[in-house]
Structure 1
Amino acid sequence: MATIRKLRGRWQAQVRRRGMKPRAKSFDSKAEAEKWARDLEAQVDRFGAAPDTKILETTTLGSLLERYQREVTPTKRGAVQEDQRIEVLRRHDLSHRTLIGLSQQDIASFRDERLQSVAPSTTVREMAILSHVLEVAARDWGMPLAKNVVKLVRRPVIRNERSRRLTDDEEQRLLDGCDAGLVPYFKTLVILAVETGMRRGEILGLEWSDISHNRRVITLTMTKNGSGREVPLSQRAFEALTDWREKADVDQSTVFPMTAGALEQAWRRLLARSNVKALRFHDLRHEAVSRMFERGLNMIEVSSISGHKELRMLKRYTHLSADDLVARLG
Structure 2
Amino acid sequence: MATIRKLRGKWQAMVRRKGIAPRSKSFDKKSDAEKWARDLEAQVDVSGYVPDTKIAEQTTLGDILRRYRDEITPTKRSAKTEAIRINAMLRRDVCHRTLALLSSTDLAAYRDQRLQTVAPATIIRELNTISHALDVAQREWGIHLARNPAKLVRRPSAPKGRSRRLEGDEEAKLLAAADKGRNPWMKPLIVLAVETGMRRGEILGLRWEDVDLERRIAHLLITKNGECRDVPLSSRAVETLTGLMQQPDRDAERVLPVSANAIRLAWEHLRQRAGVGDLHIHDLRHEAVSRLFEKGLDIMEVSTISGHKTLTMLKRYTHLRAEDLVGRLG
Q: CA deviation at 1:146?
A: 2.1
**Contact persistence 2:251–2:257 (CA under 8 A):** no
What are the ranges of 5 or more consecutive residues in structure 2 without an aligned counterpart?
A: 1-14, 30-35
Which stretches in structure 1 are left out of the alignment for 5+ residues?
1-14, 29-35
Letter in 2 for 1:99: L
In the aligned structure 2, how far is the partner of 1:147 from the partner of 1:262? Answer: 45
Structure 1 residues 45 and 259, CA, compared in 2 at 3 Å: closer, same or farther?
farther
Contact 1:111/1:123 (<8 A) preserved = yes
- Assess if the C-alpha contact under 8 Å between 2:61 and 2:96 holds in 1: yes
Q: CA deviation at 1:46?
A: 12
Is this contact kept in 2: 1:216–1:238, CA < 8 A? Answer: yes
* Secondary structure in structure 1 of the residue aligned to 2:326: helix
Partner of 2:253: 253
Are the equivalent residues in 2 in contact too, given 1:204–1:256 (CA < 8 A)?
yes
> Which residue of structure 2 lines up, in the alignment, with residue 137 of structure 1?
137
TM-score, normalisation: structure 1: 0.86
Counterpart amino acid of 2:307? G
Aligned counterparts of 1:228 and 1:280: Cα–Cα separation in 2: 25
Hey, what does 1:157 align to over in structure 2? 157
1:107 aligns with 2:125: no
Whole-Å separation in 2 of the counterparts to 1:68 and 1:300: 37
- Between the aligned partners of 1:44 and 1:227, the Cα distance in structure 2 is 48
Amino acid at match of 2:121: S
Give the CA deviation at 1:129. Answer: 0.7
- The answer to whether the Cα contact below 8 Å between 1:46 and 1:146 also exists between their aligned partners in 2 is no
Mapped to 2, the partners of 1:68 and 1:169 lie a distance apart of 48
CA distance in 2, matches of 1:159, 1:23: 49
SS state of the match for residue 91, structure 1?
coil
What is the distance in 1 between the residues matched to 2:127 and 2:46?
24
Inter-partner Cα distance in structure 1 for 2:28 and 2:160: 44
Deviation (angstroms), 1:251: 4.4
Change (3 A) 1:325 1:63: same
Q: Percent identity at matched positions? A: 56
Larger Rg, first or second structure (1 or 2): 2
Counterpart of 1:267 in structure 2: which amino acid?
A: W
> 1-side partners of 2:175 and 2:287: how far apart?
15
- What is the distance in 2 between the residues matched to 1:84 and 1:162? 25
Cα contact 2:244–2:250 (8 A) shared by 1: no
Q: Which residue of 2 is the match for residue 325 of structure 1? A: 325
| Distance in 2 between residues matched to 1:139 and 1:295, nearest whole Å | 48
- Give the Cα separation in 2 of the matches to 1:23 and 1:323: 73
Paired letter, 1:277: G
**What amino acid is aligned across from residue 263 of structure 1 in structure 2?**
I
Report the 3-state secondary structure (helix = DSSP H, G, I; strand = E; otherwise coil) of the residue aligned with 1:68: helix
Q: Does structure 1 conserve the Cα–Cα contact (< 8 Å) formed by 2:59 and 2:98?
A: yes
Structure 1 CA distance for aligned equivalents of residues 45 and 63 of structure 2: 27
Q: Deviations over 1:138-173 (max 9, x none)?
A: 111111122111111111121231111111111011
Q: Give 1:93's aligned residue.
A: 93
Match of residue 243 from structure 1 = 243
Q: CA deviation at 1:222?
A: 2.0
Q: Which whole-Å deviations, capped at 9, do the CAs of 1:156-205 have from their partners, x for residues lacking one?
A: 12123111111111101111111111222321110000011111111111
Alpha carbons 2:94, 2:106 under 8 Å: kept:
yes
1:32 maps to: none
Task: Give TM-score, length-normalised by structure 2.
Answer: 0.86
The aligned runs of 1:30-179 (5 Å cut-off) are 49-179=49-179
Aligned twin of 2:12: none
Q: Which residue of 2 aligns with 1:196?
A: 196
Q: Is the CA contact (8 Å cut-off) linking 1:40 and 1:146 kept in structure 2?
A: no
Are positions 1:210 and 2:210 aligned together? yes
Count residues in correspondence.
310
2:59 maps to a residue whose letter is: T
Name the counterpart of 1:233: 233
**Once the 2 structures are TM-superposed, how far is the Cα of residue 48 of structure 1 from its aligned partner?**
5.3
Q: Deviations over 1:97-145 (max 9, x none)?
A: 0011111111111111111111111101101110111111111111112
- How many angstroms apart in 1 are the aligned matches of 2:141 and 2:202? 34
After superposition, the Cα gap between the structure-2 partners of 1:64 and 1:167, relative to the gap in structure 1 and judged at 3 Å, is same
Q: Distance in 2 between matches of 1:45 and 1:139?
A: 25
